[in-house]
Amino acid sequence: MSTHEFESSVLAALADLKVEQAETRTEVRNIVARLDRLNGTVARHEKELREQEVHLASRQSDCPLVDAVKVRIRPLEDFVTSERAAEKTSKTWMDRMWPLIWAAAGMFGFLVLEHAPQLAKALFH
């Protein structure tokens, strides 16, 4: 390869890189523009959501049944919470006990198999 051919191939590669860079720059600009539009949409949705939450809170505070329902729901929530806590505690202890239970069952099975002829003789005579 001659020097001229080498320089031509380097210049061609640089030209391709320049084209790719321009394409990438255009894509990035489009992405930024789309993100700007989406951020505006997200901000608008967040504002509408806050307004709806305020409206809902005001309607709930105006409703005469809210206090009566809260009085009836609170004991149920307390019951469910306490049951979940008890279940979690029981599960924690059972998780700790299962290895011991399996080890004891394995030892029992081993002893039964080890002394099977003597047990069979004692049971059938």
Cβ neighbour number for residue 119 with a 10 Å cutoff? 13
CA 22 – CA 26 distance, rounded (Å): 6
Q: What is the pLDDT of residues 57-78, one digit of tens each?
A: 888 778 888 777 888 888 889 9
Contact assessment for residue 86 and residue 94, using Cβ atoms and an 8 Å cutoff: no
Q: Is 82 contained in some domain?
A: no
Task: Give residue-wise pLDDT tens across range 66-114.
Answer: 777 888 888 889 999 999 988 888 888 888 888 999 999 999 999 999 9
* Tokens of residue 83, six digits: 């049951």
The residue segments making up the domain with residue 49 are 1-62
Give, in order, the Cα–Cα distances in Å from 66 to each of 46, 49, 81, 100. Answer: 26, 22, 21, 51
Model confidence pLDDT, tens digit, residues 8-55: 898 899 898 999 999 999 999 999 888 888 888 888 889 999 999 999
Residues 12 and 32: their CA atoms lie apart, in Å, by 30
Could you say which DSSP state residue 125 is in?
-
Q: Give a yes or no: residue 34 inside a domain.
A: yes
What is the Cα–Cα distance from 23 to 31, expressed in whole angstroms?
A: 12
Length, in residues, of the chain: 125
Q: Does residue 8 belong to any structural domain of this protein?
A: yes
In the chain, the amino acid numbered 66 is V
Is 18 contained in some domain? yes
Contact 66, 60 (CB under 8 A): yes
Domain count of the chain? 1
Residue 32 belongs to some domain of the structure: yes
